[in-house]
Every structure is written in structure tokens, then in C-alpha cells.
Chain A
């Protein structure tokens, strides 16, 4: 991993924290917030491979995990696993079209939400499963929308740069 790429990951991690603290609460719709950590983990996993996906997923999960100390480590573990999974899919699927990446992102976001609630709020998961499912679907859809914006922005960043 060269230094420029490492710097990009650090900037991406800082952006994840910035988004989590400042942007997400202000863009929440009926209490549903999008999660930039998943979006970036999947993007990096799909485009840079499983190793980068694991490391970034771990870092992003750890950074946002500090806000919920009682669940510290769970977000990092799940995101690292999903980053690893996304990196492995890179070799098994044709991931070039953005819609494929968005489908993967949606599936992964849904799994992440279900797994996170299952591991951290085990009692709530079974006691109020329909609600948990509904919340996971809403968050997944919101993540997919935000992911589409981010993925297209990254894909066409040179075009955007020339535009301005």
C-alpha cells in the first residue's frame, strides 16, 4: 500500500467520522440515518481488495464505535468481516457496473444492520423483530441512496474536477 493510498484512506476515515457526527444527524429522515462507514468499506473492499476492505472496515467501525462504548468492537468486527467479504466478491463477480456495486452495498448494509442489532441488542432483536426489520430496510435504502451519490462521485471525479 503506497503512501498516497494510505493518505486517501485516512481522509476517507476522517470523512466517515465527520459524516457520522455532523452530517448524518442533520440528514436523518424520520430518525433513519445513513451510514458512511458501510459505503466506504464496500467501495474500498470492491475496488482495492479484501485486505484493504478489512483494514478500512475495522478502522471505520472502531472510529464510529467510540460513540457507543458498551458495543465497542462489534461495529469494527462486523464491518471488517463485510469488507473482507466485499473484497472476495471482487474476484467472483463482475463489479464494474455501478448498479452491481449498489446491489452489493444494499445487501451488505442490510446484513450489517441486522447483525449489529442482533449482536448488541439481542433482547430487542427477538422481542421487536418486525420493527428491527423495518428499521434495517429503511437504513439500507438510505445507505443505497447515499452510496449511489458517493460511488458516482468517485467514479466520475475526474469529470467533475474538469467541470470546475
Chain B
């Protein structure tokens, strides 16, 4: 009996019009199978999550790299803009140069710059950035020049306190700071004063920023003050510099 009933039901289902079959199927699939289809979608999402994760990680790495490059470009842009403004203010010609190497040493500290075809650069020319004095050229080799930094034992700059007009010689004696020597004991050099080049040395023009006084004390039985100056230039992060060429 059940066999016959099943057979009859099957035959009825087979001969039903297609529209009715579609209606029945749609109803059953939408209502009866909803938990299963929901689970199917969930599992598909879980399976796809792994590949999506890999793809997103790759995109993150690429975007991070791009972002780092954009930040680098941004800071370069800021530096170059500052240098351009600086160039317009000065009475001499500035030749831009790129730092291409460092020559570290115990007593001597110098960098190598790319002169891009010399362009009138010779020895003993001041090298500056928008922040202040970097050093001076000491050797020209083809399209490059060696720059002796201010933080070199042999580099000395005649300087003046902008505030008190007290003069002295800036030199490096080791450590993080510059020393301003030969400052008379009676001078009023104080912490926070700005030190600029005096123009008396014959190499550096007057008014170029050297640094800021961070220590000023009278020494025991000498005629000179002990003055320490924080350099205006960060010598550890030089990328572009200018060679100062006096206008003819």
C-alpha cells in the first residue's frame, strides 16, 4: 500500500506544471533549507577568509611600502622648500649637492657630496644647510667633494654671540657639543644665546647659524670662559647640503 501511494505521489509531482513545481521548490528551499543554506554561506565565508586574509596582508605590505615612500617624499619636499627659501635670503650663490657618503674617523669626520659636474666648487668653500653651517670642502675628486664637518678636530669657525657680540672660535673637542673658545671672561655670553659665524676667518661668511649656547661658566684661573654650543645642524641626518659660492 505505501509503495503504491509513493508511486502515485511521485507521478503527480512529475506531471505537475513547471510553474507549480518551481513554486513548491522555491518554498521548500527558502524555508525548509534555510539553516543549511545559511551554514553553507557561513562555511564559504570561512573558507574564503583565509585567501582574503592573504590578499589583504599583501595589500597592507604594499600600501605600507608606498606610504613609507610618500612620507619620505613629503619630508624631502619640506627640506627642499626650506632650502629654497634659505637660498633666496642669502647674498651668495648656493649650489645644491647630495650627500653620497660618510667618512667616519676617530679624529676626523667628513662627508662626501656629489657636485654634479663641479660647477665652480673648489677647496675651502663653506657647506651649509637651512639649519646652519655643516663644514667646508677640503678635497675635490672628480664629481665629488669631501666636506670636513664642523664636528672635526681640525675644523674651526670664527663665531660671534648674536646677543652680546662676544667673539670666539668654534671647534669640536669631542663629545656631543661644540666648544666656543677664546671667549673673554668678562663677556656676558649666556645660555640660550645664538652663535653665528663672524665672517672673520675668511672662509665662512658672517651670519651663518652655528648653534645655541647650552653652557657658559667662568673657568677657575683662566682668562676665558668655558662655553659649550649645541650645533644647529644634525650631523647624523644630512641628505642635501649647499656649497656656498661667493658672487664674483
Contact = CB atoms under 8 A, between A and B. Distances in A.
A164 to B, nearest CB: 24
B35 to A, nearest CB: 9
Given A21-B40, A69-B22, A69-B24, A51 B3 contact: yes
Interface string B28-53: 11001100110110010000000000
B37 to A, nearest CB: 7
B221 interface: no
Contacts of A55: 2, 6
B61 interface: no
B36 A72 contact: no
Contacts of B40: 21-22
Nearest to A22: B40
Contact of A54 (B6, B16, B25): B6
Interface in A48-74: 50-51, 54-55, 58, 62, 65-67, 69-70, 72-74
B54 interface: no
Given A17-B36, A21-B40, A72 B3 contact: no
Contacts, number: 69
B18 interface: yes
A72 B7 contact: no
A116 B9 CA distance: 18
Contact of A66 (B6, B12, B33, B39): B33
Contact of A72 (B6, B14, B33): B14
Contacts of A80: 3, 6-7, 10
Given A17-B33, A76-B6, 11 more contacts: A21-B39, A50-B3, A54-B2, A54-B3, A54-B6, A65-B13, A66-B33, A69-B21, A72-B14, A72-B16, A76-B13
Interface of B: 2-3, 6-7, 9-14, 16, 18, 21-22, 24-26, 28-29, 32-33, 36-37, 39-40, 43
13 contacts: A17-B36, A21-B37, A22-B43, A66-B32, A67-B25, A69-B22, A72-B25, A73-B10, A73-B12, A73-B16, A76-B13, A77-B10, A80-B3
